[in-house]
Amino acid sequence: MRAAYLITPYQFELRDIPIPKPGKGEVLVRVTAAGVCGSDLHFYSAGRIGEVVLDQPFVMGHEFSGVVEDAGEFSAEFPKGARVAAEPSIPCGTCFYCRENRPNLCLNLTFVGFPPKGGGYAEYIALPKENLHRLPDCIPDSQGPLVETLAVAIHTAELMGDTRGKSVAILGAGPVGLLTFLHLRHCGASVVYMTEPVESRREFARSLGVPMVLQPDDLQAIAEQERFLDGVGPEYVVEAAGEPASYAQAMQIVRRGGTVVYCGIYPHGAMSIDFTPARRKELRMIFVRRSLPRNYSEAICLAASGEVNLAPFCRTIYPLDQIANAFQDACERVSGLVKAILHPVGPEQDTRNR
């Protein structure tokens, strides 16, 4: 099979390697679609995420879906040809946090597409059966990878608590920020504005129904929004950009006694941030660690019902041998590209009735 290895920053190499053999409790999946996430871009451009440094060739890709090729003893639950979305977090199941039903905080977590566990930028992958979620026919292959992103948005919203009727601002109109907007709107929150530096993304956000999309450095326009929010600003601010400037700005624009939710990932680890505004405003600060297994079931239900429409996010598709182009376009945020989708097994095939 073919797999795309990141050799060094900005350099991929396609290699022919053996198809993996499923281990105990695993299912072999043929990967039909894999998304390019912001964290993948961090490895691609910086060669690291925080303390984890790319020190050898590696296969990325943690947002993916596919078709069951061999389920072995689990064939009754996952027959050959069944379409599945993959959950990349593999918890140990026995540590303190797993026993507390918080497997995203597992002390012994393995994460697919994150060293040392190779990911979905390959034609096949073997995964524990617990990491597979059946996809209904109404969700096409190209939208399968977005189930993982939507699950993160759902977990972000659930950490915020009951947001019905609450005012929210979101910093960053990438896929996570936009899916968080769609889910919060579904939950009854009032997302009053978003900020985003890229014009094509601002236009896309407006097309999804965001009432106001501002440039992050347009401080006058942001301050003007405060006037419409009781003169004190939004009750919640979600930081979904992963930039030091927006980390700081979130604390500045949220109202006193409000809540800042950080789900954006900064790849370089340490950053210099003045937390004085957080202390003086007595802010509640929440940091998001991916998602929980139950969030996948909810994400699939929301997408299948049409409550959250994933189709607009998945319009740009690349074959695996164009992975370098996909990553370069995503890094440059080319106009019209929201989420780059790779098809490791070639052009999208209709696997829904296999």
Same domain, 179 and 215: yes
More confident residue, 87 or 38: 87
Same domain, 108 and 40: yes
In a domain, residue 292? The reply is no
Taking 50 as the threshold, does the pLDDT of residue 348 lie above it? no
Percent of the chain exceeding pLDDT 70 equals: 97
Same domain, 181 and 261: yes
The length of the chain in residues reads 354
How many structural domains is the chain composed of?
A: 2
Taking 70 as the threshold, does the pLDDT of residue 4 lie above it? yes
Of 270, 287, 304, the position where a domain reaches its end is 287
Encoded tokens for 257: 């006694």
Asked if 141 and 65 touch (Cβ cutoff 8 Å), the reply is yes
Encoded tokens for 167: 């005012």
pLDDT in tens, 145-201: 999 999 999 999 999 999 999 999 999 999 999 999 999 999 999 999 999 999 999
Distance separating alpha carbons of residues 85 and 302, to the nearest angstrom: 14
In sequence order, what DSSP letters do the residues of 275-320 get, joined into one string?
A: -HHHHHTT-EEEE--S--HHHHHHHHHHHHHTSS--GGG--EEEEG
In a domain, residue 100? The reply is yes
Same domain, 50 and 175: no
Give the pLDDT band (50/70/90) at residue 271.
confident
User: Which residue segment(s) compose the domain that 261 sits in?
Assistant: 156-287
In a domain, residue 187? The reply is yes
| Beta-strand relationship, 89-90 and 110-111 | antiparallel
Q: Give me the chain's average pLDDT, please.
A: 93
Distance separating alpha carbons of residues 84 and 99, to the nearest angstrom: 26
Taking 70 as the threshold, does the pLDDT of residue 346 lie above it? no
pLDDT of residue 96: 98
Distances (CA, A) of 154 to 160, 294, 300: 10, 10, 11
In a domain, residue 348? The reply is no
Same domain, 46 and 126: yes
Same domain, 103 and 34: yes
Residues β-bridged to residue 168: 191, 236
Helices (H), 105-237: 146-160, 175-186, 199-207, 219-227
In a domain, residue 228? The reply is yes
CATH classification at residue 186: 3.40.50.720
Secondary structure of the chain: what % helix, strand, coil (to 5)?
Answer: 30, 25, 45
Encoded tokens for 274: 């003045």
pLDDT of residue 347: 45
pLDDT in tens, 307-341: 999 999 998 999 999 999 999 999 998 988 999 99
Same domain, 34 and 72: yes
In a domain, residue 324? The reply is yes
Taking 70 as the threshold, does the pLDDT of residue 140 lie above it? yes
pLDDT in tens, 78-95: 999 999 999 999 999 999
Same domain, 83 and 190: no
Encoded tokens for 24: 């105990």
